[in-house]
Chains A and B, each alone.
Chain A
Amino acid sequence: MKYIDEFRDRKVVQALAGEIRRASTQPVKLMEVCGGHTMSIQKFGIPALLPDTVELISGPGCPVCVTSRSYIDKAIAYSKQKDVIITTYGDLIRVPGSESSLEKEHAGGAQIRVVYSVMDALQIAREHPQKKIVFLGIGFETTAPGSAVAVLQAYREKLTNFFVFSAHKVMPPAMSALIDEGVKINGYIGPGHVSTITGMKIYEEIPAKYGLGVVISGFEPVDLMQSILMLIKQIETGNTRVEIQYKRVVKPEGNVKAQQMMNEVFEPADDWWRGLGILKESGLKLRPKYSAYDAEVNISADGMVPLREPKGCICGEVLKGLKKPKDCRLFGNVCTPRDPVGSCMVSSEGACQAYYLYNR
């Protein structure tokens, strides 16, 4: 298959593995901050290809995982209001809230629909003018432009029954916060899809302030191996900077049009991250101009249950890369993908699920 097979070529991967072994003289910890990378690394068995000196750790790159329980609680409260249909990407439906999950509410009769695109949610709004359609806007700069397009389209069509419940977040504040918190890493494997939108400039603080390299990587084994090699070369030569490995997709300036739309609809706001707490200007909320499309402004969350965090779950530490999923005493016995305690076990991009499926 074109554009896939070339990047899964065993010979190329093995050659890169050889180069990494030769280039790496000192132990390094590299963090991937994209859930897609976490999944690829485990799925292709990348750790087995690396020398002992190179350790990969997963960061807060899974949007579902960093989302607060109270967000789920509120979404469930919305789903209980008369005439509300919740539309969401599939990952979110099994995430446990304080007392329930969207999946359980769905089984109990709540109107919850999984969509592959926010535009499908918009279509549901057009088809059901008497219902209120709430789209759960989750994800980083990758999915935020999609939500922005939907809001702009709803604005143009004068739809009055489409609402976004935004938990959208931006990546750089979390990358800085991790280092400020004392997490010891030697470089970042930069997120591929986020960077497709944002370009490379947003990471410049990382080498400038912390002296760490960022290599924006693709998702195939060759991409990941090459990115790891680029990072190791940066570290070994002391020349740390932001580089793009994923050049076939990521432009240095990013997708300017998508950035403009995102900025038109959303403004930065302080936001809460699992494991990191409140980070300044790390979230995206709808600008006042578009408040008619803001679920939090327009839909009642009556009946929202009080927040309850599960005991013993170390999702927070896992997201910071301080602990590995296997360090959690709930991992694999109490907490499994079928019956997840923490969000990291729910999403297919969560570190705990990736470890559970591929590396137990």
Chain B
Amino acid sequence: MTHELIESIFVRYFDNPILHEQGDSALLKLHGQNLAFTTDSFVVDPVFFPGGNIGKLAIAGTVNDLAVSGAVPKYLSVGFILEEGFPLDELEKIVRTMSEEAKKAGVFIATGDTKVVEKGKCDKIFINTSGVGEIDDNLLAISSGKNIKAGDKIIINGGIAEHGMAIMAARNDLNISTSVLSDCACLNGLIAEVLEVSENIRFMRDATRGGLGTVLSELVRKKNFGIQINEDKLVPKDAVRGMCELLGFDPLYVANEGKVIMVVPVEDADRIVETMHANPLGKQAAVIGEITGEHPGKAWLNTSVGGKRMIEMLSGQQLPRIC
């Protein structure tokens, strides 16, 4: 739905060569320096959830959009829209988290804005963050993935579906208590470590809304290569799998907020996975599949029982099932 909206309204009126690329960040050149620039708004409900809150998400989301473009995130702006009556102590808690998270990620919050709207005109608190980062010449192709080749390996830094399921569990209309925490985290540190051991990262993307499945099906669309993923290499936590089974969700399409998918040359794959393993955010990193010359334009999953199925873009929300 959002995809269509972007195409039919925003691109139609705003179109220019930079916007046209539609990567996680816009790639700009300013006085000879390459910059990555991105913006994102956060409206998560509930505002506080196991493993984080809307503030952590707002920092990590924008930092990650820059980092997966190959950029070193530098400066963020923060805009708040507050509903009248939103408790000050909760706001302070959110802002404190943002400050801590920005420090950890090594980014400065350089500018900001606050608006308060009447009760009922927004839901508690909305946050927008924008960010700029520097990017090396030799990493400019990462965003588009134009150097991807058959035989390249696909890596993810851990188990999927944690953020989405943590949010589902935290919504109070489902009486579920679980140990699932959101994986929400800034990935720029982990990505910087990987870029030190491999000069040829072909593509990176954080698998947020729509999950791993959506990233893969978008990546492969209209391309002359195909994708093959091995289900037994995906390692969602048991609690996450259990919740997905119970509620009828396919973990492949559930949101993550601390997972990066990388396409890397085969000769670098093991080294990258080892590097990730040394970082707390990459302990469960694994090669989960590869780029193939077969079935161009399509992503296939080799199921854990030895079957095969296609990975298609998620359309609309995953709905709970009847029986």
Stretch at the interface among B5-13, B59-67, B310-318: B310-318
Binary B-proximity of A336-360 (CB < 8 A = 1, otherwise 0):
1110000000011100000011111
Chain A residues 28-77 with CB under 8 Å of chain B are 35-36, 42-49, 63-64
Contact B309 A36 (CB under 8 A): no
Q: Kindly provide the distance from the CB of B202 to the nearest chain A CB, expressed in whole angstroms.
A: 26
State whether the Cβ of B1 lies closer than 8 Å to any Cβ in chain A: yes
A111–B234 Cα distance when bound, in Å, is 40
Contact A63/B320 with A10-B306, A17-B306, A357-B312 known, Cβ cut-off 8 Å = no
Contact A44/B238 with A64-B322, A337-B315 known, Cβ cut-off 8 Å = no
Question: Which chain A positions have C-beta within 8 A of B308?
Answer: 45, 48
Contact A44/B307 with A4-B241, A356-B312, A358-B312 known, Cβ cut-off 8 Å = yes
Question: Which chain B positions have C-beta within 8 A of A8?
Answer: 304-305
Contact B321 A91 (CB under 8 A): yes
A128–B290 Cα distance when bound, in Å, is 54
State whether the Cβ of B112 lies closer than 8 Å to any Cβ in chain A: no
* A-side interface size class: 35 or more
Stretch at the interface among B19-27, B95-103, B242-250: B242-250
Stretch at the interface among A138-146, A207-215, A247-255, A310-318: A138-146
Q: Kindly provide the distance from the CB of A229 to the nearest chain B CB, expressed in whole angstroms.
A: 15
State whether the Cβ of A325 lies closer than 8 Å to any Cβ in chain B: no
Nearest B residue to A360 via CB reads: B310
Contact B315 A13 (CB under 8 A): no
Contact A94/B306 with A1-B242, A43-B250, A358-B312 known, Cβ cut-off 8 Å = no
Question: Which chain B positions have C-beta within 8 A of A232?
Answer: none
Contact B315 A221 (CB under 8 A): no
Question: Which chain A positions have C-beta within 8 A of B250?
Answer: 43
Q: Kindly provide the distance from the CB of B243 to the nearest chain A CB, expressed in whole angstroms.
A: 11
Question: Which chain A positions have C-beta within 8 A of B312?
Answer: 356-358, 360
A207–B32 Cα distance when bound, in Å, is 79
CB < 8 Å neighbour of A336 from B247, B302, B304, B315 = B315
Contact A47/B307 with A4-B245, A336-B315 known, Cβ cut-off 8 Å = yes
Contact A42/B322 with A1-B238, A8-B304, A338-B315 known, Cβ cut-off 8 Å = no
Contact A348 B321 (CB under 8 A): yes
Question: Which chain A positions have C-beta within 8 A of B1?
Answer: 338
CB < 8 Å neighbour of B307 from A49, A120, A337, A349 = A49
* B-side interface size class: 20 to 34
Contact B248 A348 (CB under 8 A): yes
Question: Which chain B positions have C-beta within 8 A of A42?
Answer: 309
Contact B307 A48 (CB under 8 A): yes
Question: Which chain A positions have C-beta within 8 A of B316?
Answer: 94, 337-338
A142–B232 Cα distance when bound, in Å, is 32
Question: Which chain A positions have C-beta within 8 A of B309?
Answer: 42-45, 358-359
Contact A13/B305 with A1-B242, A4-B245, A337-B315 known, Cβ cut-off 8 Å = yes
State whether the Cβ of B110 lies closer than 8 Å to any Cβ in chain A: no
CB < 8 Å neighbour of B310 from A14, A338, A347, A357 = A357
State whether the Cβ of B266 lies closer than 8 Å to any Cβ in chain A: no
State whether the Cβ of B88 lies closer than 8 Å to any Cβ in chain A: no
Nearest A residue to B317 via CB reads: A90
State whether the Cβ of B178 lies closer than 8 Å to any Cβ in chain A: no
Contact A349 B238 (CB under 8 A): no
Question: Which chain B positions have C-beta within 8 A of A48?
Answer: 306-308
Chain B residues 279-296 with CB under 8 Å of chain A are none
Question: Which chain A positions have C-beta within 8 A of B173?
Answer: 120
Contact B304 A91 (CB under 8 A): no
Nearest A residue to B248 via CB reads: A348
A222–B306 Cα distance when bound, in Å, is 12
Contact A139 B306 (CB under 8 A): no
Contact A44 B315 (CB under 8 A): no
Question: Which chain A positions have C-beta within 8 A of B307?
Answer: 44-49, 221
CB < 8 Å neighbour of B323 from A36, A43, A114 = A36
A13–B307 Cα distance when bound, in Å, is 10
State whether the Cβ of A80 lies closer than 8 Å to any Cβ in chain B: no
Contact A49/B315 with A63-B323, A89-B320 known, Cβ cut-off 8 Å = no
A64–B321 Cα distance when bound, in Å, is 10
Q: Kindly provide the distance from the CB of B98 to the nearest chain A CB, expressed in whole angstroms.
A: 33
Question: Which chain A positions have C-beta within 8 A of B303?
Answer: 43-45, 221
Binary B-proximity of A6-24 (CB < 8 A = 1, otherwise 0):
0011100110010000000
Binary B-proximity of A177-219 (CB < 8 A = 1, otherwise 0):
0000000000000000100000000000000000000000000
Q: 8 more A-B contacts (CB under 8 A) besides A45-B305, A46-B307, A337-B316?
A: A45-B302, A45-B303, A45-B309, A49-B306, A49-B307, A114-B319, A140-B323, A143-B323
Q: List 9 A-B contacts (CB under 8 A).
A: A1-B241, A8-B305, A14-B306, A89-B321, A139-B322, A139-B323, A143-B323, A338-B315, A348-B319
Q: 8 closest A-B pairs (Cβ-Cβ)?
A: A45-B307, A338-B315, A90-B319, A358-B309, A90-B320, A13-B305, A221-B305, A45-B309
